[in-house]
Structure 1
Amino acid sequence: MSDISMMKNATFPIPSFEEWKQEVEKSLKGKPFEKLYSTTYENITIKPIYTRRDIALLAHVEQYPGFPGYVRSTRANGYIQEPWKVSQEISAASPKEWNEIVKHDLAKGQTEIHIALEQLGFPVASLDDVEIMFSDIDLAQYSLRVDAGAQSLSFVALFAAYLQKRHIPFAGVRGTIGMDPIGTLAETGHLSFSLASLYDMMADITKWAKNNMPHVKTVIVRSELYHNGGANAIQELAFAFSTAVEYIHACLDRGLAIDDIAPRIQFSFAVGSNFFMEIAKLRAARLVWSNIVQAFGGSEQAQKIAMHARTSYFTKTIYDPYVNMLRAAAEAFAATIGGADSLHVSPFDEAIGPADEFSRRIARNTQLILLEEAHIANVIDPAGGSYYVETLTAQLAEEAWKLFQQIEGKGGIVKTLQDGFVQVEVENVAKQRKDNVKKRKEKIVGTNFYANLAEAPIQKADEGSEKAFPFSKVDEENVAQLQAGFREKRWVETAVFMALRRATAQEIEAALKDDGTAINVKPIPQWRLAEPFEQLRKAAEAHLEKYGARPTVHLINIGNIPNYKARADFITGFFEAGGLAVSKSEGYHTAEEAVAGALEANGTHYIICGSDESYTDIVPAIAKALKQADSNVKLYVAGKQAQEVEQSFVQAGVDGFIHIGSNCYETIVSFMKEMGVVLDE
């Protein structure tokens, strides 16, 4: 018994940081400790370990959730009383189909009705469309999120007319019906109306909502377009806050107070694959926004950020698409740990085509599992106190504030978009990302690593990138009445009045005449990380379909299996990332056997795989004999060699070397061109 008592009371001494570092340096066997440091796309150095000393000077660590700066949550209870909203974006081919899908998905666990008008699948053109869309849906039970794009007037008018006709109280509607003209400008490069006119509409809609729909937000600040262009977390935050400040100034100039406009802005952030960075990004957003609104004189309530999150489109793949379920789950986990107020989990087939019932269900249930089975909502700010996350939060907030101030010093977000500053900033990071993907420093499972060429692709109907929707004839009398009200800057009042008299969205749009000061900038290209390798895979598949075989590289394996397997596996994965077939061989023990086997294979591109020791004599012999037999073949060696060894191999006829430092994408492109594969670069 005494032994058990001693065991119960025994404690382990806590090692100091210096003791730990000494042990680490021993395990590194002469390599510097700094070898364990890494640098992110944000140019933030990540240390291998964080301690209490790293957060000693961070004031927000001692704050409680629900108190200003709101790093730890804008709500004292976090998710405990009110979880985040399951806000899956829903599209369909018609208003009736949309209505059926929404009712089905709400019954299966969705808690917010989410519409992105530009991706909806059909135009919301008339009061009839709105009546069909919201038929038998209790708007008092569910909040609404409508991303209306550059301007939201026509939807607000039709929706308000629907509520008034159905005698549904405006005050009972909750959620967001928001416009984001600067987001549209940055993403598409063009606005059909002047920003001044759009700001007039924004201010009028916000005033109207304040008096009629007090629980509805009227402005959305989308940062996803920067994320999908390749931007880092600092840029995403800074550009979003600069956009929000532009909207604040515009509304203040039009008679609104800071406490009128700030609470009616909702931010929408993409959540990418860098788990801890994304958690820190959302936490930093609360801190920076609180400081900005406070600087405008906003109340503590106005300083609370409203934050929607969306799992990243940028990280999703066409090939091995079911892996996207895992990506989305990790991103959703980060979003909820980071404290998003609402969340859209992208369906796993998002990059392929419109979601179906199965992919919508998996996306929705990803959120429900986090809520109901992982119990994420049961802990307030689970990341709070983490030395790493708290340090990263502070670093992101500080650097985002610096970039935000730089943008403001250059004239604000619109001016920096016009000057190209924002585009260059995003492009610089995007280039790093592309280079790292092409070199496979950044791994995409199922695409540039562990590609499965036997996979059957998911087939979806090609609906075209742009649809042409038929519109009814414009009633010029309706347009004239709308224009009369708009000239007096009575945007919402006029549009709602006319919508009740069956004015269409097209007529409301026609009445918003372009005043000749439309704005154009260079758009920020939207892309996905996997696209370079997906293009190679498609080219290889087209070659297969046309000629009956994939473009193929042939391995010349040297020695017994342990001698060549590691490099043969590396080369196989390397070329399969581009859709090339890899023809393997038994291990050859002489140059004569190797050359005979290669010639029998009748290929064009060969890679010798073996150990450095086995290469010394056999590689030059193979190279000379193979090139003498067929001078057109290409011969490569797997693995990096000493410079003098490489020179001797090249002199013998070797065309190059493929190793972990090789640019996988460019190597495959070169091989494909030599093989006659048609590339659409």
Structure 2
Amino acid sequence: MTAANPAQGVSATPLASDFEAATREQWLALVDKAIKGADFEKKLVTRTADGIRVEPIYVRSNGVPELQAAIPGQAPFTRGAASTVRGLGWEIRQRISALDPARANTQILTELEGGSNGILVDVEAPGQTGCRIKSAADMTTLLSGMRLDLAPVELNAGLGAPDAARHLLASLSGLSIPAQSAQVLLGLDPIGSLARWGALPVSVEQALADAIALAREAAAKAPLSRTVRVDATIYHEAGATEAYELAALGATLIAYLRAFEAAGVSPSDALKQISFAVSADTDLFATVAKLRAARRLIWRIADASGAGDAAANLHIAARASFRVMAQRDPWTNMLRSTLCCAGAVLGGADAITVLPFTAALGEADDFARRCARNIQIVLQEESWLGRVLDPMGGSWYIESLTDEVAKTAWGLLQEIESKGGILAALEQGFVQDKIAADASARAKAIATGRSDLTGVSAFPLLGDDGVTVAPREAASPVTWKQAVRPLAPHRLAEPFEALRDAADAYTKRSGKTPVVFLASLGQVIDHTARSTWIKNYLAAGGISVLTTDGYASAEEAAKAFAASGATTACICSSDALYAEHAEATAKALKAAGAKLVLMAGRPGDKEAALKAAGVDQFLFSGADAVQTLTGLQQKLGVTS
């Protein structure tokens, strides 16, 4: 924009030149004034689960020149492997897991008619449920009516992947599409299966040899197929951070390339047979950076193998994270799935799978699958998120975060390689220990309120949420001898769901609901902040509260408590009213028969006096909520 001069016309001087360039020191001075001298690092700087520093503001100097100068479709493919937008941007690959092949086929055709253009089929195998495919005929039934030249199918068969792959290859001749045109992803990942279940039906060496033999067979029968999958979601679902998920992906890729090369297959030809799966969770920016960093990591490994150009044809599928899904108030899972999908799109995933909002509860019905499908369709056809290549590229924050995630992942990859590679690191328990530590740190952040789960630890819904589903059939056990410690998946909400389950069991057993009387002092404006907080806090443990607009005195609160029939009370108000009335209220509540008196907020230097007056426990943010609520349930008689 330029400044206009009525006498001389339009000046060539930009308006910005009239302002002095701001310095970081000036900005910091203003920030210090705004935060009133508080510690800048503690107040405004955060860190990711990998310890990557996240600044409150990013400027040009935070950018990464080599990334900002990069062009989509060119190495190192951080900005995407394509130079032009493909169709609507990505493949909508929806998940099918019906047990009966004919029923699964009906669901597949419904998905394709409804807007999906790819299918991920869960196949029954030891350790997992899914479609029961026992022969090529079953596979033909499953895929009947599919245009595999237009809609790819991916198998997710875990420990049964070799058999499922053979059934699919054998079924190709019975389908209406020429095998040369069929787009199939067979999903063999013996290293990932070993990591997930701790055992394989054959030695890992034999499993790798079988995978390579199947890759040769598949390349001959269906040249557009990909046989081997590097599935990093296994590590994510067990608790891995973004960078460690990529480190495991990279280490697994290296192991497969070495196995192919030992069998006489070049890295370039091997990469044509390999697909990748990564997770997408509710941290949108982290998902974007992870996907962009994944392509850079894969290219670097491929380039070091002399096959850098082959990375231009890599295929990365993003799967919405199961670990972020919740059982309680599952409607909130639609928000989570939307964030997962958006992050995957903006990160440049080639195919995306969104979970039904009831995925954590059991089998999905038509409505739940339709909702999952429509999340993608809305983002694709109404929001047009796929119409721009690397839409987040050029953002100083995203470029910096991508660079840091890639560098951190590379360092972690080197640690795995220093142990002898991914297989040796799994055998030593190195990978499992690192992921367990990261999962523990994340669980602590949620329990102490530094990270919230909506509908679970924050704003939980008590009572019936209106959702019922058919339970999922139990998976058959893995009976082979355990070779490594398995990486069991878990959901973030599980500790709080256990509390809710205990409260429900108590209600069913006793006919009573665990309840706490809120002795809210003063007017609504005085106590609403703490009353609202404690209501949500207790609800996360399945404990309901009795509320009013507030009580003018300790005597009034005690009288109402006595009439309520409750045995536990919690004092709630402002610090000012606490100083004036808290001790008297605690004494009055005890006199009125309260067996347990709680108080919302930290006691400060009044702790001894408040305890002497009758306060048994203080509830405040920052403490471990799971531990605290477990103790409260015991005191309320919910659990023994």
Q: TM-score normalized by structure 1?
A: 0.87
CA RMSD of aligned residues (A): 2.4
Give the Cα separation in 2 of the matches to 1:168 and 1:105.
Answer: 19
In structure 2, relative to structure 1, the CA distance for the partners of 1:134 and 1:303 (3 Å cut) is closer
Larger displacement relative to structure 2 (664-673 or 16-25) = 16-25
Three-state SS of the structure 2 residue aligned to 1:284 is helix
Q: How does 1:29-68 map to 2 (within 5 A)?
A: 29-34=36-41, 35-56=43-64, 58-68=65-75
Give the Cα separation in 2 of the matches to 1:664 and 1:245.
Answer: 42
Q: Determine which of 330, 349, 364 is the counterpart of 1:321.
A: 330
Q: Determine which of 96, 121, 124 is the counterpart of 1:90.
A: 96
Contact 1:193 1:519 (8 Å CA) reproduced: no
Q: Determine which of 148, 153, 162 is the counterpart of 1:144.
A: 153
The question of 1:298 aligning with 2:307 is answered: yes
- What are the Cα deviations for residues 119-150 of structure 1, in whole angstroms up to 9, with x where unaligned? 66332112321222222323233222122323
Three-state SS of the structure 2 residue aligned to 1:87 is strand
Give the Cα separation in 2 of the matches to 1:263 and 1:162.
Answer: 22
Give the Cα separation in 1 of the matches to 2:370 and 2:76.
Answer: 36
State the partner residue of 2:634: 673
Q: How does 1:157-176 map to 2 (within 5 A)?
A: 157-165=166-174, 168-176=177-185
Letter matched to residue 656 of structure 1: Q
State the partner residue of 2:538: 575
Give the Cα separation in 2 of the matches to 1:519 and 1:456.
Answer: 40
In structure 2, relative to structure 1, the CA distance for the partners of 1:113 and 1:463 (3 Å cut) is closer
Q: Determine which of 590, 594, 598 is the counterpart of 1:636.
A: 598
The question of 1:649 aligning with 2:610 is answered: yes
Contact 1:290 1:304 (8 Å CA) reproduced: no
In the TM superposition, what is the alpha-carbon distance from 1:465 to its structure 2 partner?
2.1
Q: How does 1:240-279 map to 2 (within 5 A)?
A: 240-279=249-288
Letter matched to residue 602 of structure 2: K
State the partner residue of 1:611: 574
Larger displacement relative to structure 2 (331-340 or 351-360) = 351-360
Structure 2 residues not aligned, in runs of 5+: none
Q: Determine which of 117, 131, 134 is the counterpart of 1:122.
A: 131
Larger displacement relative to structure 2 (451-460 or 663-672) = 451-460
Three-state SS of the structure 2 residue aligned to 1:150 is helix
Contact 1:291 1:303 (8 Å CA) reproduced: no
Give the Cα separation in 1 of the matches to 2:313 and 2:457.
Answer: 41
Contact 1:221 1:268 (8 Å CA) reproduced: yes
Give the Cα separation in 2 of the matches to 1:346 and 1:335.
Answer: 13
In the TM superposition, what is the alpha-carbon distance from 1:8 to its structure 2 partner?
10
Letter matched to residue 641 of structure 1: P
In structure 2, relative to structure 1, the CA distance for the partners of 1:538 and 1:373 (3 Å cut) is same
In the TM superposition, what is the alpha-carbon distance from 1:151 to its structure 2 partner?
5.3
Give the Cα separation in 2 of the matches to 1:230 and 1:446.
Answer: 21
Give the Cα separation in 2 of the matches to 1:167 and 1:563.
Answer: 72
The question of 1:345 aligning with 2:306 is answered: no
Q: How does 1:229-248 map to 2 (within 5 A)?
A: 229-248=238-257
Larger displacement relative to structure 2 (347-356 or 660-669) = 660-669
The question of 1:417 aligning with 2:378 is answered: no
Contact 1:156 1:177 (8 Å CA) reproduced: yes
State the partner residue of 1:464: 473
Letter matched to residue 161 of structure 1: A
In the TM superposition, what is the alpha-carbon distance from 1:261 to its structure 2 partner?
0.9
Give the Cα separation in 2 of the matches to 1:564 and 1:113.
Answer: 53
Three-state SS of the structure 2 residue aligned to 1:270 is strand
Contact 1:634 1:655 (8 Å CA) reproduced: yes
Give the Cα separation in 2 of the matches to 1:345 and 1:167.
Answer: 29
Give the Cα separation in 1 of the matches to 2:457 and 2:175.
Answer: 54
In structure 2, relative to structure 1, the CA distance for the partners of 1:541 and 1:157 (3 Å cut) is same
Three-state SS of the structure 1 residue aligned to 2:292 is helix
Q: Determine which of 497, 504, 511 is the counterpart of 1:548.
A: 511
Letter matched to residue 96 of structure 2: I
Letter matched to residue 111 of structure 2: D
Contact 1:194 1:519 (8 Å CA) reproduced: no
Give the Cα separation in 1 of the matches to 2:387 and 2:548.
Answer: 56
Contact 1:192 1:519 (8 Å CA) reproduced: no
In structure 2, relative to structure 1, the CA distance for the partners of 1:141 and 1:626 (3 Å cut) is closer
In the TM superposition, what is the alpha-carbon distance from 1:570 to its structure 2 partner?
1.2
Calculate percent identity across the aligned residue pairs. Answer: 32
Contact 1:91 1:120 (8 Å CA) reproduced: yes
State the partner residue of 2:393: 384
Give the Cα separation in 2 of the matches to 1:341 and 1:651.
Answer: 64
State the partner residue of 1:523: 486
Give the Cα separation in 1 of the matches to 2:545 and 2:269.
Answer: 64
Three-state SS of the structure 2 residue aligned to 1:408 is helix
Contact 1:306 1:341 (8 Å CA) reproduced: yes
Larger displacement relative to structure 2 (179-188 or 42-51) = 179-188
Give the Cα separation in 1 of the matches to 2:488 and 2:496.
Answer: 18
Give the Cα separation in 2 of the matches to 1:462 and 1:156.
Answer: 28
Q: Determine which of 292, 295, 306 is the counterpart of 1:283.
A: 292
Give the Cα separation in 2 of the matches to 1:143 and 1:560.
Answer: 62
Contact 1:536 1:579 (8 Å CA) reproduced: yes
Letter matched to residue 186 of structure 1: A
State the partner residue of 2:413: 404
Give the Cα separation in 2 of the matches to 1:433 and 1:220.
Answer: 28
- What are the Cα deviations for residues 8-57 of structure 1, in whole angstroms up to 9, with x where unaligned? 9994646444433332222111213322001111111100011110125x
In the TM superposition, what is the alpha-carbon distance from 1:171 to its structure 2 partner?
1.5
In structure 2, relative to structure 1, the CA distance for the partners of 1:612 and 1:201 (3 Å cut) is same
In the TM superposition, what is the alpha-carbon distance from 1:429 to its structure 2 partner?
1.0
Contact 2:530 2:573 (8 Å CA) reproduced: yes
Contact 2:248 2:422 (8 Å CA) reproduced: yes
State the partner residue of 2:105: 99
Larger displacement relative to structure 2 (43-52 or 662-671) = 662-671
In structure 2, relative to structure 1, the CA distance for the partners of 1:184 and 1:377 (3 Å cut) is same
State the partner residue of 1:498: none
Give the Cα separation in 2 of the matches to 1:423 and 1:153.
Answer: 25
In structure 2, relative to structure 1, the CA distance for the partners of 1:305 and 1:616 (3 Å cut) is same
Contact 1:289 1:303 (8 Å CA) reproduced: no
The question of 1:198 aligning with 2:207 is answered: yes
- What are the Cα deviations for residues 319-361 of structure 1, in whole angstroms up to 9, with x where unaligned? 1111111111111011011011111011111111111111111
In structure 2, relative to structure 1, the CA distance for the partners of 1:69 and 1:618 (3 Å cut) is same
The question of 1:24 aligning with 2:31 is answered: yes
Three-state SS of the structure 1 residue aligned to 2:279 is strand
Q: TM-score normalized by structure 2?
A: 0.93
State the partner residue of 1:501: none
Letter matched to residue 635 of structure 1: V
Three-state SS of the structure 2 residue aligned to 1:152 is helix
Q: How does 1:492-511 map to 2 (within 5 A)?
A: none
In the TM superposition, what is the alpha-carbon distance from 1:168 to its structure 2 partner?
4.8
Three-state SS of the structure 2 residue aligned to 1:300 is helix
Three-state SS of the structure 1 residue aligned to 2:545 is strand
